[in-house]
Chains A and B, each alone.
Chain A
């Protein structure tokens, strides 16, 4: 009798121990965003630019489903693209994201974030809500859409003050492709890769 109670408690303890204690990747979307947010602030605090950008690449790959985002953002035009264009697009998009956000993370200015709750969207997706506070500026609402993937939890969209990054990006890319075709988009993405590095250092 006593043995079975002890065993039961032991089993319950294992079942309810937090995901992080298992030494594997987080399975709770809220914890996942918390860890990612802490890591990001840590990256921002890194003083060496080169090291900071390398560390950011790691955070990006760990935290974001970049390929899924890339694929969503180009939308229906994917079908019209040939293999070579697809490959180049995937490569350029990754670079585009890196350059866009790396510059944004240069210089830590006292930002903190607070988790304010989460909403389950469906059996795969959860919206994790946060508020980012920054000195002398109004706080920003940022909601992270986290998906269960074969590769663990990944962010597939960020909604800042109700504005979805992937929706905006998709709309922008569609506008360019409509005017200048897929090659026009690739051209601009190539050009973008050259622009901000000189501008922001």
Chain B
């Protein structure tokens, strides 16, 4: 999930190189904001409390814009990311792919550790340190996940989760170009994670770019069957992913702890009574 850092760095360089370009940055930005406001979904009238509650729970006032970016992402995925992942699957043997995946995970350890610590989770921080030590040495630079066989299972933390632990709400639903489902909290988290990654300061740009590409391909391939299945069984893929993203993030923030229990009324055959008027599921 590095591209954001790279993009912003590029933007900074460009700005320094040509101050005149500012006008060309600010102007489209303003137009973009204007379009954004124009593209807002219309909230339901205030005299319909159910509809209003649902609108708030869905929390997607930018839906028209989000759907447009979503379509673009699907297109980019179809012509680039997915074929690249399939190529990777067909060209590289499973053992090697597993090694690459382990290595990427090991390289992420500092970011996870920083967030473990920021969340005050000393137990998980200790696991992250031990895993990094074992896998970087006995695991040949992270190629093999030796630590897992000692009962030190891996986990992932990011600054979006840390912000949530600190009490930040998620904000409105956002679909980011290329990066996909997100929200202001997780978007900020993504940027912050880039700053926490020591490799971002020491590794040459080419290596970081390569890592970003490999990570994108690796992550895409890991969800390829799941996403195909969800797309096939959805009748509104966008809405399904919106709900899935929220719930998955909730689960990650709780570290797999007990999920919120939504009230599900038993079906009564009494016609018009509506026992679940008050139940809300996003």
**Does B23 belong to the interface (CB within 8 Å)?**
no
- Is A113 part of the binding interface, using a Cβ–Cβ cutoff of 8 Å? no
Q: How far is the CA of A189 from the CA of B279 in the complex (A)?
A: 24
A interface majority secondary structure: helix
Contact A72 B238 (CB under 8 A): no
Does A123 touch B at the CB level, under 8 Å? Answer: no
Closest residue of A by beta carbon distance from B267: A68
User: Chain B contacts of A70 at CB under 8 A?
Assistant: 267
A175-B236 contact given A162-B251, A170-B281, CB 8 Å threshold = yes
For residues 57 through 73 of chain A, which have their beta carbon under 8 Å from a beta carbon of chain B? 65, 67-72
* A163-B277 Cα distance, complex, nearest whole Å: 22
Q: Shortest Cβ distance from B84 into chain A, in angstroms?
A: 21
A-B pairs under 8 A by CB, number: 112
| Partner pick for A78 among B94, B233, B239, B274, CB 8 A cutoff | B274
A-B contact pairs, 8 of them (CB 8 A): A75-B281, A162-B254, A162-B259, A164-B259, A168-B247, A171-B243, A175-B238, A185-B235
Q: Which residues of B contact A (CB under 8 A)?
A: 50, 54, 58, 94, 229, 232-236, 238-240, 242-244, 247-248, 250-252, 254, 256, 258-259, 261-262, 264-267, 272, 274, 276-277, 279, 281-282
Chain B's nearest CB lies how many Å from the CB of A177? 10
Verify A159–B259 contact, CB threshold 8 A.
yes
Q: Is the CB of A172 within 8 A of B235?
A: yes
A contact residues around B250 at 8 Å (CB): 162
B267 close to A167 (CB less than 8 A): no
Residue from the set B236, B243, B254 with the largest chain A CB neighbour count within 10 Å: B236
| Residue numbers in B under 8 Å from A79 (CB-CB) | 272, 274
**Is A100's CB under 8 angstroms from B282's CB?**
no
Residues in B neighbouring A163, C-beta threshold 8 A = 244, 247-248, 251
